[in-house]
Chain A
Amino acid sequence: MTQEFDVMPGNKAVAHGVRLARVEVVPVFPITPQTTIIEYISDFVADGKLDAEYIHSEGEHSCMAMAVGASMTGARTFTATCSQGLAYMHEVVAQATNYRTPLVMAIANRTLGWYWSLGPDYSDIMPEMNLGWLVNFVETNQECLDMTLMNYKIAEDYRVLLPTMMSLDGFYLSYSQERVYLPEIEMVDDWLPPYKAPYPVDPTVSKAWPSAMIPPALHTTYRKLHEDVMNDAKKVIAEVDKSYGEVFGRSYGGMVEKYRCEDADSLIVTMGSMTTAARRAVDKLRSEGEKIGLLKLRFMRPFPNEEIIELAEQVESIGVVDRVMMHGTGGGMAFQDIKGVLYNTEIKVPVQNFVTGLGGEDIPIDDLYVMGKKILKNKGRKLINEVEFVAHEFQAAAPPVEYEGDSCMHPGSDGCAGCGASIIARTLLDTLGENTVVINPPNCSGVNYGGVVKVPWVLGNFAAGAAYMTGVYRALRKKGKADKVYVTSYAGDGGTVDIGLQSISGAAERGESIIWLCYDNEAYMNTGIQRSGSTPLFSATSTTPVGSEWKGKPQRRKNMLMIMAAHRIPYIATASLSYLPDFKRKIKKAAEVTRAGEGLAYLHVHQPCTTGWYFDPAKTVEIGRLAVQSGAWPIMEIDHGVPKINVKPRELKPVKEYLAPQRRFRHVTDEQLEIIQGYINNDWDSYLRLEKDGKLPWY
């Protein structure tokens, strides 16, 4: 059978799988290295190639809840995440099981902090392993596509009816290009019929729905039943793998894949993308006459007990390569599982563990070859070193360059040429001085400038920036230092208006005397320009692309100024990097009110982004000025409830002058332009009216 192929990264293969499966609901939230999956899907939806409800969620916890809600209502549902995002979903991940939602989630593996890395290891998926989901690991981009389809067929089978996590290694698969064959959608339609939920939360269809509550006396019974389901799933996995092979010409062995195991007396066990390198290592050892085989764990949940016992009976030595550490147990994940499977059997075979590739470090063929040699040596011997950590020498980057200057930021950084965020950060820190603690919910400035500042710059978690600050501030206050150290955030718009909002609202309402600084570049720039709640109307982003169906972001941005004003905090201001004296005055004012213990000071600073808005880097400050002069970004403050417009052009410039140099608006039609101009005029008039009326009545 001939099939079309294309060369694509793993994330695109997953997206094609989603398209071919005609997924109906796709809630999303960006996180590297998963994000391009949802970007490719948004392209499909924007161009009418996939007819799906695409939901831009405000954080992963919500994203997973949307997925569970959609799936329990009977829609075929997909989402994707990894690392911190998966950890943030955790609570809802557990809930997905008892609602028996056969949704499929792709995990483009990335290390879970601590320590932070963008590279893959299985520390992100490890805490999710035992929540009753099916969990499988793929090795190639083709397998990404094939397993996306197979996972729906497995998960939606009423003998299973469980959510499924598909793990593809970040970078090694997510961004690496491979040849991928694309099945015809008509063939997929025949093979994978639409999902029909047995008990959807839809009173027009069903009067019953899956319950989250059972009496404690039934818990053990139901957990046992769930274990039976997991066991039954093994049969379904084998069936689906076989049937996929018959229809599409590719099958993978079901629960595990055995490579050169026929006459093997030793076995190396792997999972995920490292398997490809392990195959080559096994080939090399085989060519030297060694009888070593490879076992690729495809499903980790349910765990392939039978397959492992069968092979353990055959071989005299086993080595397990783990890309994760289960701290406190002394070894890795697959290692502990395999040892557990073998313990109550008659089999006495040494099982050695190699823990390696953590933080996304490569696991090269040479390393796997050496591991293979060690496994072979273990035959008939008592293990001396049960767990071996295979680490590599650290190649230090270039040493720091000495210089003259006394700014709170060192010169030179990893930021984009022409980055406005660094101008804002330097102005902030130079104004506040060295006795400042910066809490940094993840963003591009953390990556680029966190390492070049001369004050403590602490990486917080995305949804909890203001809560970290509260902790720091309260500890300082308890120790009598609240008037000696400033606590400020350096947060992006995503960390402020979307995922971080609840935490800020809590801190504002409690009256924590901290400075919230948001540098607003109007999208998630760190993960590659995805739409945020602060992205302006009609802006194109990588998750609101322009296509035959979509014409940029259809919603207006949140008005954070008014959201904060509703909290009656002492000081709220917008600012721009193009008006630095005004910005400095506002930083000083924020410092003043927080030092006086009056409560939260909120600074929202506009930051034109050369990379994300697509304009010449030399124009960063110029574009910022145009935003203010056109009224697209009014510079204001609300000082103890009194609103004031700080920069008031005699006449607002037409917004077209501000939008025209930015490629994110190049698709904007005259009609759209008129709508934007209308809203700007209306907002401007509203602010003038507020200013005229004086103190906001609710203060």
Chain B
Amino acid sequence: MMVQDKSLIKGLALNDIAVKGGKYVANWRAYKPEIDYEKCVACGLCISYCPEAAINQTDDKMPKIDYRFCKGCGICANECPQKAITMIQEDES
């Protein structure tokens, strides 16, 4: 009889895509991007270009940075056609 009971499999390490969340990387950051919503036209470029997927679109189409996932690379500020994002040095403390 061939046994095919999953609970009897020994020593199998699994990748399970169902159980993961994001990775906290805020402590990498030396400069912090800040969006000036007066200037932002919600073009979405910063969302597309953020290497960390740390920028999301909110209900009013505006980008919102989740700073827990931002390494402060500055691509969003560099690419913003409205110059609406400024990189501000993190507090040393």
Residues of A within 8 A of B (CB): 115, 398-405, 407, 409-415, 417-420, 422-423, 426-427, 451-457, 580, 610, 616-622
On whether A620 and B20 interact (CB within 8 A), knowing A403-B68, A405-B56, A419-B51, the answer reads: no
How far is the CB of B57 from the nearest CB of chain A, in Å?
Answer: 9
Residues of chain B in range 19-42 having any CB-CB distance to chain A below 8 Å: 19-25, 28
Task: Identify which of B51, B56, B87 contacts A423 (C-beta below 8 A).
Answer: B51
Residues of B within 8 A of A (CB): 13, 15, 17, 19-25, 28, 48-54, 56, 66, 68-69, 71-75, 77-79, 87
Contact B56 A456 (CB under 8 A): no
User: Chain A residues with Cβ under 8 A from B17's Cβ?
Assistant: 453-456
Contact A412 B23 (CB under 8 A): yes
Contact B20 A400 (CB under 8 A): yes
Q: Can you list 16 residue pairs at the A/B interface with Cβ under 8 Å?
A: A115-B13, A398-B23, A399-B21, A401-B21, A401-B22, A403-B21, A403-B68, A410-B20, A410-B21, A420-B51, A422-B51, A423-B48, A453-B17, A617-B73, A620-B75, A621-B78
Contact A411 B78 (CB under 8 A): no
User: Chain B residues with Cβ under 8 A from A620's Cβ?
Assistant: 51, 73, 75
**How far does the alpha carbon of A594 sit from the alpha carbon of B15 in the complex, in Å?**
27
User: Chain A residues with Cβ under 8 A from B48's Cβ?
Assistant: 423, 427, 580
Contact A400 B22 (CB under 8 A): yes
Give the nearest-CB partner of A620 in chain B: B75
Contact A410 B22 (CB under 8 A): yes
**How far does the alpha carbon of A410 sit from the alpha carbon of B18 in the complex, in Å?**
11
User: Chain B residues with Cβ under 8 A from A580's Cβ?
Assistant: 48-49
User: Chain B residues with Cβ under 8 A from A456's Cβ?
Assistant: 15, 17
6 smallest CB-CB distances across A and B, nearest first, come from: A400-B21, A618-B74, A412-B23, A418-B73, A411-B69, A417-B71
On whether A412 and B68 interact (CB within 8 A), knowing A401-B22, A617-B73, the answer reads: yes
Contact A411 B75 (CB under 8 A): no
Task: Identify which of B52, B56, B75 contacts A618 (C-beta below 8 A).
Answer: B75
Give the nearest-CB partner of A427 in chain B: B48
Contact A451 B74 (CB under 8 A): no
**How far does the alpha carbon of A637 sit from the alpha carbon of B17 in the complex, in Å?**
34
Q: How many A-B residue pairs have CB under 8 A?
A: 113
On whether A415 and B51 interact (CB within 8 A), knowing A403-B66, A617-B73, the answer reads: yes
- Most chain-A Cβ atoms within 10 A of its Cβ — which of B24, B49, B52, B71? B52
Dominant secondary structure of chain A at its interface with chain B: loop
User: Chain B residues with Cβ under 8 A from A414's Cβ?
Assistant: 23
User: Chain B residues with Cβ under 8 A from A427's Cβ?
Assistant: 48
Give the nearest-CB partner of A619 in chain B: B78
**How far does the alpha carbon of A415 sit from the alpha carbon of B54 in the complex, in Å?**
13
Contact A452 B51 (CB under 8 A): no
Contact B73 A618 (CB under 8 A): yes
How far is the CB of B85 from the nearest CB of chain A, in Å?
Answer: 10
Contact A422 B24 (CB under 8 A): no
**How far does the alpha carbon of A580 sit from the alpha carbon of B53 in the complex, in Å?**
15
User: Chain B residues with Cβ under 8 A from A417's Cβ?
Assistant: 28, 51, 71-73
Give the nearest-CB partner of A414 in chain B: B23
Contact A451 B78 (CB under 8 A): no
- Most chain-A Cβ atoms within 10 A of its Cβ — which of B66, B73, B74? B73
Contact B75 A410 (CB under 8 A): no
Contact B49 A423 (CB under 8 A): yes
Contact A621 B23 (CB under 8 A): no
Contact B78 A407 (CB under 8 A): no
- Most chain-A Cβ atoms within 10 A of its Cβ — which of B17, B49, B51, B77? B51
Contact B52 A411 (CB under 8 A): yes
Contact B75 A621 (CB under 8 A): yes
**How far does the alpha carbon of A414 sit from the alpha carbon of B52 in the complex, in Å?**
10
How far is the CB of A606 from the nearest CB of chain B, in Å?
Answer: 15
Contact B68 A401 (CB under 8 A): yes
Contact A407 B53 (CB under 8 A): yes
**How far does the alpha carbon of A620 sit from the alpha carbon of B50 in the complex, in Å?**
11
